[in-house]
Amino acid sequence: MKQVTAKKIIHIDMDCFYAAVEMRDFPEYQNIPLAVGGDGPRSVLSTCNYQARKFGVRSAMPAIKAKQLCPELTIVHGRMAVYKEVSVHIREIFSRYTDIIEPLSLDEAYLDVTDSALCQGSATLIAEQIRADIFNELNLTASAGIAPNKFIAKIASDENKPNGQCVVSPEKVTAFVEQLSLKKIPGIGPKTFQKLQSFGFSTCADIRSSSIAKLTTIVGKFATSLYQKAHGIDNRELEVSRQRRSLAIETTLAADIYSETECLAIIEKLLPKLIVRLEKVKDRKIVKQGVKLKFNDFNQTTVEQQSLAAQQDTFNALLAKAYERANGRGIRLVGLTLGFAEPNVADEIKTKQLTLL
Ligand code: TTP
Ligand code: MG
């Protein structure tokens, strides 16, 4: 009988990425609470170092709140070009160990090393080696999770942050998930967590002793995926050549606005910028247009409709629908989105062949 061996997936994630790059390049930031973001009254932090986290400062927190929690916090502007350069370098390091890489953002990726013969085939040693390469070549630290699937690997990479790694071997998966808080499961936000808690579900162990039928009454279609995750099951393969599925542009306003007319004026300014970005992906077929609004209580809404082009009239009509949901709240952000059709694999191969020629 053919033996099915478990997969070996590594999830690598840089530690307080933007802030770490700033601390590396400017030693005066090294021993102080530091955040990256705008320091204007309405700006939001991108991230902060671990010293700032001790005060409760977090990514996506308004700068004003962060300053209240940590008055001595230094906030610096981000340098995207530098972060992108670092990102290219870490991806080059990953490629020394496997071809099966799924980048998730500038600072994190999944690697499938199941068939790698390097480091005696040990995923644990490969992860250590990758982290050592990153440290030696970039003077930055990363953390890693090593597990039989993407879901567990991603959660594991957070366990021993910063500058640590966590191995969940196949026989340890059950023990690992049983103690896991449902808060840590991707897809469970604060509201869903509260709802689950009100039904007595706090950990994966609680989910395991329930049933898909019961869970469906609480979280609807998400029940099957939740039940599987609570059992440590995740059969997703790595998505190696991920094509862009959408394009978005948005602007956070200097002051809240309170009328649809003002929103329309913003859309008129955003649309030409969206068209410029669209030029770069003009081989993609548009299938959807959308308008996003964020209200001044930080809730947001998106209205979408099928469409074959980026049309101003359609955006305006979508805005009208989205604006109805404001109910007197001010608008702090306006965004436009385009959705693209699934890439046709045959076309993709053709493009690659042409590029090779
Ligand atoms: P994360 O990996 O989520 O965070 P981090 O690397 O700063 O910290 P950790 O050690 O917990 O991994 O995100 C990577 C970078 O993406 C982060 O440095 C800044 C950026 N980012 C934002 O700009 N806004 C956000 O809300 C988040 C979460 C991240
Ligand atoms: Mg990170």
Q: Is 14 in the pocket of ligand 1 (CB under 6 A)?
A: yes
Same domain, yes or no: 221 and 261: no
Q: Give residue 59 CA to ligand 1 midpoint distance, Å.
A: 6
> Per-residue pLDDT for 207 more than 70?
yes
Q: Give yes or no: residues 75 and 85 share one domain.
A: no
In the chain, DSSP finds a helix count (H) and a strand count (E) of: 14, 12
Quote the crossing angle between the two packed helices 123-138 and 80-95, to the nearest 10°: 140
Over range 314-322, report the average pLDDT.
97
- Contact assessment for residue 182 and residue 193, using Cβ atoms and an 8 Å cutoff: yes
256 Cα: distance to centroid of ligand 2 (angstroms): 31
Of 35, 61, 80, the one marking the end of a domain is 80
Note down the domain range covering 193.
179-230
**64, 114: one domain:** no
Q: Which ligand is nearest to the CA of 83?
A: 1
The structure tokens listed for 43 are 């700006």
Q: What is the pLDDT of residues 53-85, one digit of tens each?
A: 999 999 999 999 999 999 999 999 999 999 999
Give CA 239 to chain center in angstroms: 15
What's the CATH number where 184 sits?
A: 1.10.150.20
Determine which residue's CA is closest to atom 21 belonging to ligand 1: 46
Say yes or no to pLDDT of 352 above 90.
Answer: no
Residue nearest to atom 28 of ligand 1 (CA): 59
Compute, in angstroms, the gap from residue 145 CA to the centroid of ligand 2.
12
Q: Are residues 132 and 203 in the same domain?
A: no
Expressed in angstroms, the distance from the first to the final Cα of the chain is: 44
DSSP-derived 3-state class of residue 55: coil
3-class secondary-structure state, position 76: strand
Identify whether 28 is a catalytic site residue: no
Question: Which of 36, 43, 46, 159 to mutate to test ligand 1, by most ligand atoms within 8 A of the CB atom?
Answer: 46
Q: Region 154-183: what's the mean pLDDT?
A: 97
- Asked if residue 235 belongs to a domain, the reply is no
pLDDT band of 5, cuts 50, 70, 90: confident
d(CA 267, CA 334): 8
For residues 277 and 340, membership in a common domain is answered with yes
Residues 271 and 341 in one domain: yes
Instruction: Report DSSP state, residue 325.
Output: T
For residue 351, the model assigns a pLDDT of 47
Question: Would 355 be classed as within a structural domain?
Answer: no
Give 103-124 as a DSSP string. Answer: EEETTEEEEE-TT--GGGG-HH
Q: Phi and psi for 209 in degrees, rounded to 5?
A: -90, 5
Q: Residue 46 Cα, ligand 1 centroid: separation in angstroms?
A: 6
Say if ligand 1 is within 6 A of residue 17 CB. Answer: yes
Q: Tell me: do 296 and 314 sit in the same domain.
A: yes
Domain check: are 259 and 308 in the same one?
yes
Mean pLDDT of 301-318: 96
Q: Give the whole-angstrom CA distance, residue 6 versus residue 119.
A: 18
Query: In whole angstroms, what is the distance from residue 305 CA to residue 182 CA?
Result: 33
Mean pLDDT of 326-346: 85
Q: Is residue 111 part of a domain?
A: yes
In this structure, of 72-76, 205-209, 316-320, 351-355, the range with the lowest mean pLDDT score is: 351-355
Please give the average per-residue pLDDT across 310-339, as a whole number: 96
Please indicate, yes or no, if residue 150 is contained in any of the structural domains. yes
For residue 49, is it within any domain? yes
- Domain match, 139 and 50 both: no
The tokens 């809404």 sit on which residue? 301
User: Which residue's CA lies nearest to atom 12 of ligand 1?
Assistant: 15
- Among the options 108, 237, 262, 268, which is catalytic? 108
Q: Which residue has the tokens 């002793």?
A: 209
Verify whether ligand 1 is closer than 6 Å to residue 59 (CB atom).
yes
Place 201 in a pLDDT band, splitting at 50, 70 and 90. very high
Query: Hey, what are 351's tokens?
Result: 């493009």
Please report which ligand is nearest the Cα atom of 47.
Answer: 1
| Nearest ligand atom owner, CA of 20 | 1
Q: Output the average pLDDT for the chain.
A: 92
**What ligand 1 atom has the least distance to the C-alpha of 161?**
10
pTM above 0.75, yes or no: no
pLDDT reading at 284 higher than 80? yes
Nearest Cα residue to atom 4 of ligand 1: 16
Q: Specify the number of domains making up the chain.
A: 4
Residue with tokens 């955006």: 315
Domain match, 142 and 195 both: no
CA 222 to chain centre: 19
Same domain, 138 and 183: no
Backbone angles phi, psi at 43, to 5 degrees: -85, 165
Closest alpha carbon to 155 in 116, 203, 214, 222: 203
Per-residue pLDDT tens over the stretch 248-271: 898 989 999 999 999 999 999 999
Closest residue CA from atom 11 of ligand 1: 16
* Rounded Cα–Cα distance for residues 190 and 206 (Å): 18
More reliable by pLDDT, 90 or 342: 90
Over residues 278-292, mean pLDDT: 89
